[in-house]
Structure 1
Amino acid sequence: MGTVNATIAGRQFRLACEDGQEEHLQALAKDIDQRIIDLRARFGEIGDTRLTVMAALMVSDENSELARKVRRLEEDVAALQDARVVAADRARAASDAVVGAFNSAAERLESITRKLNHSLPAGTGVGIG
């Protein structure tokens, strides 16, 4: 288990974390400390506990907003995936229709060619297709 020494609101804290997470925990502690410094600059000395609570509420608010954004993005992704499936189905149907039209045209051309060949006089040596 790793440990980090961090300064938050002018006080030293020894914090435990999983091995390899020390740098991340240090960055989080610095973020909280900077928020408290910013709040202190805005509101003056209103007490460490109050500043810490205000910083925690700010983080919680940001977390809540990010969670809402993630939910909206997940909904957007799901809608786009549904639209992709619909578009793929339409493209497949359009492709099938084009293939069917070409096959139908080819069959008509073959039928016309057969009729023309039957209508030519026998022994002329002329034929189509």
Structure 2
Amino acid sequence: MPEVNVEINGRKYRMACEEGQQQHLIGLAERFNTHVEQLKGAVGEIGDNRLTVMAGIAVVDELAEAERKIKALENDVLVLTRAGQEVAAEIESLEGQFAARLSEAARTLEGVASVLDEAAPVPQG
């Protein structure tokens, strides 16, 4: 199992990860370290453990907000999907009505054409 070195709050940690996930783990550690550094800048030196816990809670808060937004978007997709299905059903119904009326109009025109053919004088040649 591959190992990578990451740095959090100025300290290096060796961490194992799955093959091919090395860069991903390094990126996650860098992102977490950014949270730690921002908190350290905002609250000052408060101790490594407390700082790490606060950064962890901040990250989980971001995750919870992202999950809330995803849930809202999933609900929006569901509403839009249902609306799309309703519109599609209405279009299908209208197409059926249009086809029936077009067929009716064609029959009427054929009837008119037949009457005209019967009423028209036959040219003699």
For the pair 1:49 / 2:46, whether they are aligned, the reply is: no
In the TM superposition, residue 23 of structure 1 has moved relative to its aligned partner by 0.5
Per the alignment, residue 85 of structure 1 pairs with: 85
Secondary structure at 1:5 match in 2: strand
Q: What is the one-letter code of the residue matched to 1:19?
A: E
Letter of the structure 2 residue corresponding to residue 125 of structure 1: V
Does 1:19 find its partner at 2:19? Answer: yes
Structure 2: tracts of 5 or more residues without a match: none
Tell me the C-alpha RMSD between the 2 structures. 1.4
Whole-Å Cα distance in 2 between the matches of residues 22 and 49 of structure 1? 25
Paired position in structure 1 for 2:5: 5
TM superposition score normalised by structure 1: 0.88
Q: How many residues in Structure 1 have an aligned counterpart in Structure 2?
A: 123
Equivalents in 1 of 2:74, 2:105: separation in Å? 46
1:12 Cα deviation (Å)?
1.4
Q: Secondary structure at the match of 1:45?
A: coil
Task: Could you list the structure 1 runs, at least 4 aligned residues long, displaced by more than 6 angstroms after superposition.
Answer: none
Aligned pair 1:117/2:117, yes or no? Answer: yes
Letter aligned with residue 6 of structure 2: A
CA displacement, residues 35-76 of structure 1 (integer Å, 9 cap, x when unaligned): 111111111111111110110011000000111111111111
- Say which is worse superposed, 67-76 or 109-118, in terms of deviation: 109-118
Counterpart for residue 103 of structure 1: 103
Of all paired residues, the percent bearing the same amino acid is: 37
Alignment partner of 2:5: what SS?
strand
Q: In the alignment, residue 16 of structure 1 is paired with which amino acid?
A: A
TM-score, normalised by the number of residues in structure 2: 0.90
Q: How far 1:89 sits from its partner (Å)?
A: 1.0
Aligned partner of 1:40: which letter?
K
> What secondary structure, in the 3-state scheme, does the structure 1 residue paired with 2:4 have?
strand
